[in-house]
Structure 1
Amino acid sequence: MATVKIFISHQKQDSSAALRVQSYMKNSHDIDCYLDVIDPDLRRGEEIADHLRNELSKCSHLLAIVSEATKLSWWVPWEIGVATEKDFPLATFGTNVALPEYLMKWPYLKSQSDLTKYAQTVSEMSRETRLLDGVSNESFNTATASVGRSSTRRFYQSLRSKLGQ
């Protein structure tokens, strides 16, 4: 499934959890992910922001790994904001963490079973978007942009239904 790519946003302390999610998505569901491990040569905030914006432009979804450590991150909320502006389908994944109100807007995953439901929804919506638009894989990103908010809303409705939210 080359046309879907999930940007995994996380705080540095949650790198091992983010790597496990990335591995699970690829190995169990054949979904590519970009894990925002910043190049150590990028020093200035502007360089990091440009790098992250560039990587986000190659993705279709954002999954934020959340924990108590996320409260210490400036970048996770920034990445969520950029993805929101791009109307990416968003979700959060974490256990035993009280989410701030603004994160309650999106589906929340708490287990590997929830990750499976998320992956299924990502795959289903990707197929649906391509079928509805009658487009080839090469023009999938352009078609996704044109379908826009209704596709993202359908993603949320479908995932929330599967999660019982």
Structure 2
Amino acid sequence: MRQQLSICTQLMAVVSAATKTSWWVPWEIGVATEKDYPIATFAGGYTTLPEYLRKWPYLQSMSDVDAYAEASKMAQREFKNRRTYQTDSLARRSSTKDFYRVLRSSLRQ
């Protein structure tokens, strides 16, 4: 599973009544956090998020998913631009910060 996550560039945790108590969710979030990947959570319907997932932007509707997609595209462009003059690690950290700023602004969080 860790190898599969190593090829990702971001993580969206889709939380349902069945997955919100899964121990895999916090583990996957931890791996993504170590790698400075952008993280967001989607909880549709009447699912309430566990408190620890409220640290990251959370999506509740399809328009929120659209905002996530736009912030993701922007972050990926910024990452590619920054890699020309920064290390991959620093470029990833900076573009992830931009992702959170843009997405939280769009979601008013």
Query: Which TM-score tier does this pair reach, normalised by the shorter chain?
Result: 0.7 to 0.9
- Look up the SS of the partner of 1:92 in the other structure: strand
Report how far residue 146 of structure 1 moved: 3.0
- Where do 5+ consecutive residues of structure 1 fail to align? 1-51, 136-141
- Look up the SS of the partner of 2:52 in the other structure: helix
Per the normalisation by structure 2, the TM-score is 0.87
- Look up the SS of the partner of 1:71 in the other structure: coil
Aligned counterparts, 1:119-134, within 5 A:
119-134=69-84
In 1, Cα distance between equivalents of 2:12 and 2:60: 12
Report how far residue 79 of structure 1 moved: 0.8
Whether 2:38 is the aligned partner of 1:89: answer yes
- Using the aligned pairs only, state the percent identity: 54
**Paired amino acid for 1:103:** L
Structure-2 change in CA distance of 1:114 and 1:144 (3 Å) = farther
Per the normalisation by structure 1, the TM-score is 0.59
What does residue 23 of structure 1 align with?
none
Aligned counterparts, 1:72-87, within 5 A:
72-87=21-36
- Asked which structure has the greater CA Rg, the reply is 1
What does residue 94 of structure 2 align with?
150
Question: Aligned Cα RMSD in Å?
Answer: 1.9
Whether 2:105 is the aligned partner of 1:161: answer yes
What does residue 3 of structure 2 align with?
54
Residue-pair matches, total: 108
What does residue 12 of structure 2 align with?
63
What does residue 102 of structure 1 align with?
52
- Look up the SS of the partner of 1:63 in the other structure: strand
